[in-house]
Amino acid sequence: MKKYVMALDQGTTSSRCILFDKRGRICSMAQKEFAQIYPKSGWVEHNPMEIWSTQIGVAAEAISKIGACGEEIAGIGITNQRETTVVWNKHTGQPVYNAIVWQCRRTSDMIMELKDSGFDKVIQSKTGLIPDAYFSGTKIKWILEHVEGAKAEAEAGNLLFGTVDTWLIWNLTRGKVHATDYTNASRTMLYNIHTLEWDEEILARLDIPRSMLPEVKPSSYVYGLTAPGIFSNEIPIAGVAGDQQAALFGQGCFEPGECKNTYGTGCFLLMNTGEEAIQSQHGLLTTIAASDNDKVQYALEGSVFVAGAAIQWLRDELQVIKTAAESEECAMEVKNSNGVYVVPAFSGLGAPYWDQYARGTIIGITRGVNKNHIVRAVLESIAYEVYDVIKAMEQDASLTIKHLKVDGGACANNFLMQFQADILDTTVMRPDCIETTALGASYLAGLATGFWKDKKEIKENWALSRTFTSNMEEKERQELIAGWKEAVKRSFGQASYMK
């Protein structure tokens, strides 16, 4: 009997596996962090073999923790850090270079060239994206231009490209399936989100051979079976979606106007816009949302590059906290940030500013500022970043967001959630299950394999854990926001004059 759906959640900092039951409850979970590689300032890489080994390792661990067997698993849903780029040899399965991570800034100058020639407009109208080093397109170009022999091998049809979902599917099927889903394809900057095809004009401009690209399939669809020996039996890979689109689905945001915000390494606000691909006038992206059939749905997205990563920076680099959770205690020790603002533009700024050359900035330091003020200012900065993207979304969609569904690791922080509600003057709703990314992927797989009947059944699983409502006076809110806007301005363009 089928008891579980297995979600493989390959995030920026860790690989996770969760087994969910029919009611969307977590039955088993295993997680492993892996190495972040920073070869140069602004560059970020992962080892693709470590992505694979940690992901398959946590899958085995989650299964054995509860003594489950392969036969009890109805299907696998894959969800992943998006845009991160892997190129490998299709005969040996060996990557030709490390995975270039979505946060990596190494192709900023390539993007500037595209902008200078006006090609950014072509890209935006076809892909829905605001050209940036964030997306996969220029990362592939960089690998082909900088790895010895890669260009010729790619032209000879020997190299394959994939985002992390594709890399995992390839390994799970031992090279049988080279595919991705609509949501991940829509983050490559190579995919026309209106015609649902790889775009020949953009491929030609970036000099990327079409033969490297995976087939594109719906998010809820049987991609193939795991190869013999991977698990105790062959399990269908039946759901695939980029992590932010999976979270939107996992939160049950199926109708136009419904939105969620995920507080993970970065922060990603997504609003379902149904069959309409709205082009933002305020610095947001148009992207493909996950759906339960082969009919494509769209979403508006505000992508903030650094959120929980700033808490990790406090923990690992500054070493002012020992655990991420300790940031909440520090913030509550002080009444306010004592005039300090932190802009965590470690990887430039994404939505709504899109400044590739912005860098991290701290302003307002006086002699009385202590570590708790700095920690508090970092947490507050996450809420301000979200404020900026919410305001952009409200303008684009001509509506007011009165309730915000949240998820992701950092939404466990009560101080942050309260400050978020204060700054937005909006009710923040935290569900019982904050692992909605994994949950969304499992829903997609469970719908494709008949484990769940329909979206109605899924929606009934959503349960509220806690709401946060605003306690702040309007005057204070406006003063704080004005200070943030000033701080953001100071972060602009720093990398361009510090080269």
Ligand X SMILES: Nc1ncnc2c1ncn2[C@@H]1O[C@H](COP(=O)(O)OP(=O)(O)O)[C@@H](O)[C@H]1O
Closest CA to 435 of 91, 9, 74, 51: 9
* Residue 102 binding: pick among ligand X, ligand G3P, none (C-beta 5-8 Å cut-off by kind): ligand G3P
Q: Is 83 annotated as a binding residue?
A: yes
Q: Is 308 annotated as a binding residue?
A: yes
Q: Which of residues 153 and 328 has its CB atom nearest to ligand X in the complex?
A: 328
Q: Which of residues 158 and 418 has its CB atom nearest to ligand X in the complex?
A: 418
Q: Which of residues 312 and 414 has its CB atom nearest to ligand G3P in the complex?
A: 312
- H-only helix segments in 398-473: 414-424, 436-448, 455-459
Handedness of CA 472, 478, 481, 483 (dihedral sign): negative
Characterize the bridge pairing of strands 215-217 and 464-468: unpaired
* Residue 78 binding: pick among ligand X, ligand G3P, none (C-beta 5-8 Å cut-off by kind): none
* Residue 82 binding: pick among ligand X, ligand G3P, none (C-beta 5-8 Å cut-off by kind): ligand G3P
Give min distance, CB of 307 to ligand G3P, in A: 8
* Contacting residues toward ligand G3P, per CB under 6 A: 11-12, 81-83, 102, 242-244, 264-266
Closest CA to 19 of 86, 54, 53, 69: 69
Q: Is 105 annotated as a binding residue?
A: no
Distances (CA, A) of 122 to 56, 98, 203, 297: 39, 30, 12, 22
Q: Which amino acid is at 213?
A: L
Give min distance, CB of 81 to ligand G3P, in A: 4
Q: Is 207 annotated as a binding residue?
A: no
Q: Which amino acid is at 323?
A: T
Q: Is 315 annotated as a binding residue?
A: no
Place of tokens 């661990």: 61
Characterize the bridge pairing of strands 403-407 and 427-431: parallel
Q: Is 409 annotated as a binding residue?
A: yes
Q: Which of residues 135 and 170 has its CB atom nearest to ligand G3P in the complex?
A: 135
Q: Which of residues 216 and 480 has its CB atom nearest to ligand G3P in the complex?
A: 216
Q: Which of residues 132 and 292 has its CB atom nearest to ligand G3P in the complex?
A: 132
For 72, the token pair is 């009890």
Q: Is 82 annotated as a binding residue?
A: yes
Cα–Cα distance for residue pair 140/133, rounded to 1 Å? 11
Q: Is 265 annotated as a binding residue?
A: yes
Q: Is 243 annotated as a binding residue?
A: yes
CB 265 within 8 A of CB 308: yes
Q: What is the DSSP letter of 401?
A: -
Give min distance, CB of 264 to ligand G3P, in A: 3
Closest CA to 238 of 378, 461, 65, 441: 441
* Residue 14 binding: pick among ligand G3P, ligand X, none (C-beta 5-8 Å cut-off by kind): ligand X
Q: Which of residues 230 and 253 has its CB atom nearest to ligand G3P in the complex?
A: 253
* Residue 239 binding: pick among ligand X, ligand G3P, none (C-beta 5-8 Å cut-off by kind): none
* Contacting residues toward ligand X, per CB under 6 A: 11-14, 264-265, 308-309, 311-312, 324-325, 327-328, 408-410, 412-413
Give min distance, CB of 413 to ligand X, in A: 3
CB 168 within 8 A of CB 177: no
Cα–Cα distance for residue pair 5/55, rounded to 1 Å? 16
For 168, the token pair is 């995992």
Q: Which residues are annotated as a binding site for glycerol?
A: 82-83, 134, 243-244
Q: Which residues are annotated as a binding site for sn-glycerol 3-phosphate?
A: 12, 82-83, 134, 243
Q: Which residues are annotated as a binding site?
A: 12-14, 16, 82-83, 134, 243-244, 265, 308, 312, 409, 413
